[in-house]
Amino acid sequence: MVAQTLLGIVHCDPSYEIKYIMESVKDKYGYQISYTKAWRSLKRAVEIFYGTWESSVQLLLKYMRALCKYNPGTVFECKHLRSNNESIKTLNYVLWAFRPSIDGFRHCWKIISIDSTHLYTKYKHKILISVTLDANNQMLPLAFTIVDEETSDSWKLMVLRAAEDLHYFQPPHGVHRFCLRHVCSNFNARFKDLHLKDLCWEAGKQHQVCMFDATMEAIRNKNILAHMYLAGISKEKWSMTHDGGWRPGVITTNMSECLNSVLKGARRLPISAIVHLILLRYLQYFIERVAKGQRIVQENQLWSDYACHKYEK
């Protein structure tokens, strides 16, 4: 009964929180349900509206082929793992990139940010997101990959290996850099000293060699092992001072993490529904940005809004 009352809510807002479900039931029926019952009701409502994860995986291949057919140029790749039972397949990963994003990347900053986030399902999958910035300094999602738990545990190594093996990620075509926030988090996990963590951040964001050297010296004076740890990481990977100008001002994967929050509601849906919801939000973004682009052209504005705002400052 509770699940039936949630169908409209699930359709409009898949990220609807459990506490609000409990409040809605209390207001409508005058009865306080438990957190567990609210969670089960939400899960049931999602299954009624979007189907189960298992049925969604079976639908995925057909859905993605239709998506590619009616959106020519869209890239899709899927891999299953075979078990001892030949009739049973386990989803290993599914990757896709919409054609408008592929075309739009030509006009974006040549920076690709990659991050991952967990899905809220009984199968411990992750979604990997590749993002860049357009001329207005707004996010443009490039590609998505949903991977199983075993693959997602090693996805960082996969990214590093791809960056090393592909020639167009090598100088002079491109380079691979670390997110400074993740470097600082790993640094703090090892040495458990917030002051050292702050110094690590200060060193990484500096643009002047003298300031970088001074901060590194402060780290060495406080903890020689911490200094040795940072010195063991290639400076160009995490320090703006030694970056060589490859990532102008972009020192974290914040833009990927912002997209994670946008997709928060999709993370509890079955896999085909996740792809469909991302597609709908893509359409919304592109419609809004086409309207903005047409306004800029009609007003004979020479630069993007972001560039104009920077110039006016």
pLDDT band per the 50, 70, 90 thresholds, residue 206: very high
Cα–Cα distance measured from residue 2 to residue 21, given in angstroms and rounded to the nearest whole number: 9
pLDDT of residue 15: 77
CA dihedral 78, 83, 89, 90 (to 10 degrees): -60
Residues near 217 by beta carbon (within 8 Å), at least 6 away in sequence: none
Please state, in angstroms and as integers, the Cα–Cα distance from residue 160 to each residue in 26, 156, 163, following that order: 51, 6, 5
Could you tell me which of 243, 258, 159 has the C-alpha nearest to residue 204?
A: 243
Per cent of the chain over pLDDT 90 is 29
pLDDT band per the 50, 70, 90 thresholds, residue 265: confident
Question: pLDDT, tens digit, for every residue of 157-202?
Answer: 666 666 677 777 777 778 888 889 989 999 999 999 999 999 999 9
**Does the pLDDT of residue 150 top 70, yes or no?**
no
Tell me what the mean pLDDT of segment 57-63 comes to. Answer: 90
pLDDT of residue 157: 66
Mean pLDDT of the chain: 85
Alpha carbon 53 to its chain centroid, in Å, reads 21
Tell me what the mean pLDDT of segment 232-238 comes to. Answer: 92
pLDDT band per the 50, 70, 90 thresholds, residue 81: confident
Q: Write out the two tokens for 15.
A: 């990220």
DSSP per residue, 59-122: HHHHHHHHHHHHSTT-EEEEEEEE-SSTT-EEEEEEEEE-HHHHHHGGGS-S--EEEEEE-SSS
Cα–Cα distance measured from residue 249 to residue 240, given in angstroms and rounded to the nearest whole number: 8
List the chain domain ranges.
2-50, 53-175+253-296, 180-238
Could you tell me which of 187, 142, 85 has the C-alpha nearest to residue 278?
A: 142
- Asked if residues 127 and 143 have their Cβ atoms less than 8 Å apart, the reply is no
Question: Which residue bears the tokens 């290639």?
Answer: 234
pLDDT band per the 50, 70, 90 thresholds, residue 284: confident
- Asked if residues 230 and 212 have their Cβ atoms less than 8 Å apart, the reply is no
Tell me what the mean pLDDT of segment 38-53 comes to. Answer: 89
The size of the chain, in residues, is 313
Pinpoint the alpha helices (H) of 166-251. Answer: 180-191, 194-205, 209-222, 224-231, 235-238
Per cent of the chain over pLDDT 70 is 93
Question: pLDDT, tens digit, for every residue of 182-192?
Answer: 899 999 999 99
